[in-house]
Every structure is written in structure tokens, then in C-alpha cells.
Structure 1
Amino acid sequence: MELESIQKDGQINGFAVAMVNHNGVLYEKGFGLANVETKEKYTEHTIQHIASVSKTLIGIALMKAKEMEKLNLDDPIHDYLPFKVINPYYPNKTITIRQLATHTSGINDTEQYMNRAWILTKNQDLTNVNTDYPAQRLNPSEFDIPMEKYLKEYLEIDGAYYQDDNYINFKAGERYNYSNIGATLCALVIEKATGQAFDSFTKKHILKPLGMSSSGWSLKDVDIKKHSRLYRNDNTLIPFYTAITYPDGMLISSSSDMAKYLTELIKGYSGEGTLLTKQSYKELFTEQLREQNFESRNAENPYNGDYSPAIFIGHSALGYIGHSGGDAGVGTWMYFDKEKKTGRYIVINTDMGNDERAKELEYYAIWDKMNAYFDKLTKEKRTSNSVLK
């Protein structure tokens, strides 16, 4: 099996893939190890958090709240928030929900995000694990605070975590600037508009209807026995962690569950979805920005939803719609081909850091092998149809 050889010959400890179309799963399988020490295999039912692919659930939740007439996308966010969010460069310019959803709010991720957002989970054995992660600080559990308090301290000008570059010097709506803080703030707006915690709202309106029974927003919501361990690119073990800003990247799920979710997204794009109305899905997937909104764009990357954002999901320049993600020990891709209506999900439990060569030889190789398999399925379908004729 070619995917298995990629894992064995490379640096990835374990990963899983899922391939779907609007009718359901075409292929799903895990490779390598979920736990190197115990030799537990990584399967399609292994769970781990999925990093920024989680943000696509903010988009679905946002459109559901709109359907419920709890909010509108062009509402000012201050209509819902108990604290002020004002870009000091443009204090008279209102920020809207849509601008949060398209990463044009002007809110910026700084070291106050990278150094404070992630929290080690309580009551875990830290023997033989490495808490020194370079890209994002993994803080002791006593540093945990409520999401709303953290956002208030980050975004208010007199807040404890405020600094000048927490906002960029562009008017809201002018410049695309990917923002985890902005995404989490949108989840808080949904909470305030609906009167429900974001995790409860998404469980009710997304996870349960799709039968995503292995998924949740924290370790207490899932079966930890099925959870993969996560690894640095030097193979040292990363401890279990969560985030104060959990909506921006901390959904825990399996490849099998995410296959159900991706199938629903393809159905929604095709006008056959079950979570939202046809009109809501149309708005969710509508491209929102123009060339002038970007400092620069990469037109060659097929797995780059940042090329043309919709509502917490994006269009690549080469015909794919979806999102990718990366956190300590995690890499994820979830995209579907908008013409062929086929989709793929890849989740990895090993961090490649800044090793671009390893990413090219392994991460992208997995994508390419899946392309070949989709082509094979298409040829087999054509052959089958010609025989039937």
C-alpha cells in the first residue's frame, strides 16, 4: 500500500485519511502508530484534535444562528458583546460579524495569543513528555481562564493582554489578515446571540445530527482511550493540551467522523445538505473578497483556502474548497473538489515544524496519492457505466 510506505519511510508516526463524495465514504483508513510506546495502531477511529479545520464549524454554527434569526452577518459585533472591541487606528469604524468570518476585522494574533492560549490538561503524567514547544507555549493548567475573560483582556485597550499590534492599521473590511482571535470572538458572538455555550450549540446542531459520536471539544467529551498521542518532529512526546480559545482549533474527532462532516459539506455545496437550508449553504460557500483585500496570494497551492475566503471556509485557486490546520503535533487538511464533488481529509499526529522538505515528501505525497486513487475510481466508474450501456 503506497500510503503505508509513505508512513514507514518518513517521519510521520501516525495518520489517517478519508475520501468521500456526496453519497458517503469511498475509502477510510489509518496508518502507523497512535502511540509509539505501546505500539497502538492509528486507525480511522483514532481521535485527536483537528486544529484550524475546527473553524469550519464556527461557519456552520454562524449560519444556523442566522437561520434561527438570532443574528445577521452584517450586524455590528458590539450589538452582542459585553465589552468594547475597537481598532484604535480607526476608532469610529464598526466591525461586523461578516468581517470576523472572512478574517478582515483587523484583529491580529500576537505573542499574547501564541504564549497564552494553550493550556496543559490537568492530572496527566508529564514523565517523558516535552512541554517546551517552540511555536506555541503550553501553559500549566492554573493559567486557564474563561474564554470571554481572555478575549476581553486581549481586545480592550486597557486589557491585561492588550498591546498595540493586537489590531492592524487597516479599516475593518479592507485587508485579509487570518485571525484565530477573531474566529474565537465570532464563537463568543454566537454564544451571546443564542444564549448557548458554543460547544453545546455545535453539539446540538452539527455533531449529533451527523452522528459524529466520537467528537467533542474537550477530553471529557470523548473516549480518551481512543486518543492518539502527539509528537514533535524529533519524536518527543507532546502532553495533552487544550486552549482557552478552543473554537479556533480544538475539536477532537476521528477520520471516520470527519468523513461524515465532509460528506455533508459536499451535499451542502450541491444544494442537498441537511444541517442548513439551501440558501444558508449558498451564503456559507460564497466567495467574499476581492484582489484588493490581499497583500499577496499564492495561486499555485491547491490546499490553500486562504486564497479566496468564504464564511470560515475557503476556495483555493485550483478548484478546491476547505480548510487546513496545524498545531503542536497536529496537521490536518479537509478539502473537496467543487466540480467532481469528491473530498479528502488527512490528519497527522506528528509535527513537521519548519521542515519544508519533509512536508513535501510526506504531507503533500499523501495528497498526491489520494489524487491518483480518485482518478482510479473515476476510470472504474466510467468503465462500469460503459459496460451497463
Structure 2
Amino acid sequence: MKSLSYTLLFITIAICCQAQRKQSKEFIKIQNELTHKLTAISRNASFNGFGVALVNDRDILYQNGFGIANTKTLQKYDENTVQNIASISKTLIGLAILKAQELGKLKLDDPVNQYLPFKVTNPYHPEVAVTIRQLTTHTSSINDNNGYLLNTVVLKDTVNLSSNVNIDISPTQFNPPSSKISIEDFLTQVLSESGKWYSKDVFTENKPGEIFNYSNIGATLAALVLEKATGIPYDVFTTKYILKPLKMNHSGWNFNAIDFSKYTHTFINKQTPYPYYSLNTYPDGGLLTTSSDMSKYLLELMKGYFGKGTILSKESYKEYFTPQLNAGNFQDRSNSEYSDEYNMGITMGFGSTGNFGHTGGDPGMNSVIWFFKDKKIGRYLIVNTDWDNKISGKDQKAIYDLLDEYCIKLNALSGSEK
């Protein structure tokens, strides 16, 4: 038995060594060049810290973090720094809904009222049912009104509570920790006619299914429908069917699910941190994750686009990445190459060139994932500081230019042997 154990140990070590030899010396050299250049940008950037990741359709090409996560302790921002990614979180809603459909728990074109404990009805068109597909493509006619904006952002603790609740994060606002409620309770108060935050302007005057209108409430409602259809809380469902299979072991939907010592502050400016906060509508923007874990997520999405994903079937991924809308669904269509609102898949946005991705923004942070389908490469960037319109765009362009240049170089070398 002892000799067998030694044999198995030797085989394991050999396999590990082969994995470490996978990339060539030239590949490592190019990675180091990119690290050096991004480090130089971080020293004078308008944001304190940022994370990046690059993938192709086969491998993770690069992941790293730069700058500062905590200005008091000078904790570095690295690939294992945890941060909220804002609306990129919505892309998991689409994956989860399609997984639930695979499990036979729901169908995309089901009316949402088939599953909900309260009625969701557009008062301008009470005869037209709101469907799950409409929620995931932002055509449900549900609107982010003040009921949503003024009640979703919740402070983590009561430290400096009186001053923190008055910090300007327009059009939203900070609420005390006692305001934390479930997504079911929140949506009941906003969308049900008997809810204390309900008003008719939570719906537009358009018929459900007609016009694109980006809706955080609608996205969170899709997550609640999933909960009711499957009998599993959204955070538990997505952890079981997305995060764990992808080995995103440092990610989760609340502060207790992650290593809080790795969590970054988000910042008003380079000197002033925001208080820690979370969202009552956490499915629409509350995933806490790292650049390292996001590289795994991007790789899965890239593989899924080309029919080689692991968490959904080929058919489900095809649905996920199929643009669902047409020109008639837009009143003011964004034609920018890098806009994620030219068209919509099942929560995945498309630009005018057919490339796809999603953006995110919350107090003290901005994020983006973007995939170039013809080049078969994808990139991720997240920053932990409010956007300075005068200089942040310049910093972003410098980072994007490097990521684009080196993603092409690394892609060409990916998988080559020493």
C-alpha cells in the first residue's frame, strides 16, 4: 500500500508540474510586461484600485489587481480582492432562469403571476401579462421609480449612521441597516397595489413586451420568480448551479458569504471612502467577487457562446446569447459599439457590432465585461472609486488599450509549450 501511495503521489506531482509548464516562457514574459505597464498606470490613476481579467475561448489569459483597497491600512488591491460588481450581476439572473427552465421548473414565456404571491399588473394595460422573458430582456414595462431608488441601498452597520445616511448618492440614497428586507418583501412593497411604496409610475405606459426600458426592479423580480418556481432562494440556487461548478469559491451574495478581510472599500474620491453597503434588490447588482473568480466566469461565458459551456446546455446558451429585440423595441436606441443596450439576450447585452457584455455602476465603483466574438477574447475591468468625468475616461482608455493589445498577444501564445 505504501509503494502504491508513493506512485500515486509521484503521478499527482507530475500532473501538477505539467500544468505549470502549460504556458511558454514567452507567454509569461508578455504577462509580466502587462503587469508592469498596468502598475505604472495605477500609480497616477484617478481611482484607488482596479481589477482586470482576460480570457479567450479556451483559457484564462490574465488576471490581476492594482492600486489600493484600503487607504488607511494601505491594503493592496490584487486578484483576490473582493468587490461588488453592480449590474454585471444581472448576467447571472439569465443563466439561473435558463437553468431553472432546463430543470423543468419554469418556461421563459410563462406569465410571472403564475408564480408570484402578489399580482404584478401594468395599470395602463391590465389585460397584458408580464412574462419572464420580458423581465430578462427589459421589456416588461416595469420602471425604476422612487420606490426602488430610495429604498434599495442599505448600510452595513450603524457606525457614523447619522452622517452616512446623508451622503449624496443621487438618485439613490443610503438607508439604515434596519431597512434590510428580503427581495420578496421589497418587491411586494414596490409592485403590489397594496404596497407602501407603490405608485403607478413603477410601470411605463407602454404595453409589456413592446419597448426596452432598463429595469433593476424587473431583473430582481425575475430572481423572485425563480425562487417561487424552484422553492430555492436565489442566492442558494446561483451558488449551487453557477458559483460552485465554476469554482468561484471567493464569491457570494452577502458579506457573510465572502472573506471580508479581502473586501475593498469603495471611494467617493481617492481620499474618502464610502461606508459599506448592500442592496435590498441584491440580484440586480449585489454579487461580491474577485478578479480571479471573474476570470473563471468570463471563460465560461466565452465557452458557452461557442457551444462548449458547462453550466448550461448548448440550447440554453444559444437562447442566452440570441439577441431578442428589434428596432421597434427601442425609442432611443444606443448605436455605440461598446453599449450593452443596442440589443438584449437573456440579460446579456449586445453592442451594434454584435459584440456583447454588460456594464455596472454603484456608489464608488464601475465595472464592465466585454466579449469580442470574432477574436474570441473577453475582458473585465472594475474600479473601486467614483468616476471623475475629467480624467477617469482617459485612465480607462489607457487600460483598455493595454488590455486589447496584450489580450491579442497572449491569445496568440495561449497553450504553447516551453
The TM-score range, normalised by the shorter chain, is over 0.9
Pairing 1:17–2:52 present: yes
Q: CA deviation at 1:68?
A: 0.3
Pairing 1:155–2:191 present: yes
The equivalences for 1:14-163 within 5 A come to 14-122=49-157, 132-135=167-170, 136-163=172-199
Q: CA deviation at 1:367?
A: 1.8
Q: 1:126 to 1:87 in 2, by over 3 A?
A: closer
Q: Which range is displaced more, 214-223 or 16-25? A: 16-25
- Cα distance in structure 2, aligned partners of 1:163 and 1:90: 15
Tell me the amino acid that sits aligned with residue 15 of structure 1: F
- Cα distance in structure 2, aligned partners of 1:199 and 1:380: 38
Q: CA deviation at 1:124?
A: 5.2
* Deviation digits for residues 308-337 of structure 1 (CA, Å, limit 9, x no counterpart): 100011111134211110001111111111
Tell me the amino acid that sits aligned with residue 137 of structure 2: T
RMSD after superposition: 2.1
Q: Confirm or deny: 8 A CA contact 1:130 1:236 kept in the other structure.
A: no
Residue 280 of structure 1 is aligned with which of 291, 313, 316?
Answer: 316
Q: CA deviation at 1:125?
A: 6.9
Q: TM-score, normalised by structure 2?
A: 0.87
Q: Confirm or deny: 8 A CA contact 1:129 1:236 kept in the other structure.
A: no
Unaligned stretches of 5+ residues in structure 1:
none
- Cα distance in structure 2, aligned partners of 1:279 and 1:361: 40
Pairing 1:258–2:294 present: yes
Residue 315 of structure 1 is aligned with which of 350, 370, 377?
Answer: 350
Residue 209 of structure 2 is aligned with which of 158, 173, 184?
Answer: 173
Q: Confirm or deny: 8 A CA contact 1:209 1:275 kept in the other structure.
A: yes
Q: CA deviation at 1:150?
A: 1.2
The aligned counterpart of 2:231 is 195
Tell me the amino acid that sits aligned with residue 322 of structure 1: G
Pairing 1:367–2:400 present: yes
- Cα distance in structure 2, aligned partners of 1:27 and 1:67: 32
Q: Confirm or deny: 8 A CA contact 2:48 2:270 kept in the other structure.
A: no
Tell me the amino acid that sits aligned with residue 391 of structure 2: A
Q: TM-score, normalised by structure 1?
A: 0.93
SS at structure 2 position matched to 1:99: helix
Q: Confirm or deny: 8 A CA contact 2:93 2:283 kept in the other structure.
A: yes
Q: Confirm or deny: 8 A CA contact 2:365 2:384 kept in the other structure.
A: yes
- Cα distance in structure 2, aligned partners of 1:90 and 1:127: 42
* Deviation digits for residues 141-187 of structure 1 (CA, Å, limit 9, x no counterpart): 11122211110111122321112211101001110000000000000
Tell me the amino acid that sits aligned with residue 69 of structure 1: G
The aligned counterpart of 1:291 is 327
Q: Confirm or deny: 8 A CA contact 1:130 1:238 kept in the other structure.
A: no
Q: Which range is displaced more, 268-277 or 129-138? A: 129-138
Pairing 1:204–2:240 present: yes
SS at structure 2 position matched to 1:363: helix
Q: Which range is displaced more, 112-121 or 311-320? A: 311-320
* Deviation digits for residues 43-89 of structure 1 (CA, Å, limit 9, x no counterpart): 01100111000001101100000000100000000000010101111
- Cα distance in structure 2, aligned partners of 1:378 and 1:212: 23
Q: Confirm or deny: 8 A CA contact 1:16 1:348 kept in the other structure.
A: yes
Q: 1:126 to 1:94 in 2, by over 3 A?
A: closer
- Cα distance in structure 1, aligned partners of 2:400 and 2:166: 30
- Cα distance in structure 2, aligned partners of 1:287 and 1:90: 26
The aligned counterpart of 1:224 is 260
Tell me the amino acid that sits aligned with residue 196 of structure 1: I
- The count of residues paired between Structure 1 and Structure 2 equals 382
Q: Which range is displaced more, 177-186 or 104-113? A: 104-113
- Cα distance in structure 2, aligned partners of 1:8 and 1:318: 34
Q: CA deviation at 1:343?
A: 0.7
The aligned counterpart of 1:233 is 269
- Cα distance in structure 2, aligned partners of 1:320 and 1:308: 10
Q: 1:172 to 1:222 in 2, by over 3 A?
A: same
- Percent identity between the two aligned chains: 46
- Cα distance in structure 2, aligned partners of 1:129 and 1:369: 37
Q: Confirm or deny: 8 A CA contact 2:369 2:381 kept in the other structure.
A: yes
Q: Confirm or deny: 8 A CA contact 2:165 2:176 kept in the other structure.
A: no
SS at structure 1 position matched to 2:110: coil
- Cα distance in structure 2, aligned partners of 1:42 and 1:318: 33
- Cα distance in structure 1, aligned partners of 2:99 and 2:142: 24
Unaligned stretches of 5+ residues in structure 2:
1-35
Tell me the amino acid that sits aligned with residue 318 of structure 1: T
- Cα distance in structure 2, aligned partners of 1:128 and 1:5: 36
Q: Confirm or deny: 8 A CA contact 2:165 2:173 kept in the other structure.
A: no
